[in-house]
Amino acid sequence: MLAQIHIILKNGVLDSQGKAVHHALTDLGFNEALDVRVGRYIELKLSDITEVEAEALVTDMCEKLLANTVIESYRFSLAPNQ
C-alpha cells in the first residue's frame, strides 16, 4: 500500500516560505503567479495491510508525528503498491 500525504499550513497561518517563493517568481518576471503556498509531500510505503487498516494507521501517523495539527492540515490518498 502506498500512502501519498499532503501537509499544508491552515488558512490564516502566515506561509513565509510561500511568500518568499512568490516574491522570487515575481522577481523572475512570472507575474502570472497570484499566490503561492508551500507544503510537504510524503510518500509512505506500507507493508501488506488492508485499506481500512492503512487509513487508520496513516491518520495516526499524521496526528502523532507528520503534521503539526495546530497550524497544519493534512490529507492523504492510498493506492496499491507499485
Binding site for a second copy (CB under 8 A): 6-8, 18, 21, 24-25, 28, 30-47, 49, 54, 57, 60-61, 64-66
d(CA 43, CA 3): 6
Strand partners, 75: 6
Nearer to a second copy among residue 41 and residue 70 (C-beta): 41
Q: How far is the CB of 78 from a second copy (least distance, A)?
A: 13
Please provide residue 42's backbone torsions phi and psi, each rounded to the nearest 5 degrees. -120, 125
Nearer to a second copy among residue 24 and residue 71 (C-beta): 24
Please provide residue 62's backbone torsions phi and psi, each rounded to the nearest 5 degrees. -65, -45
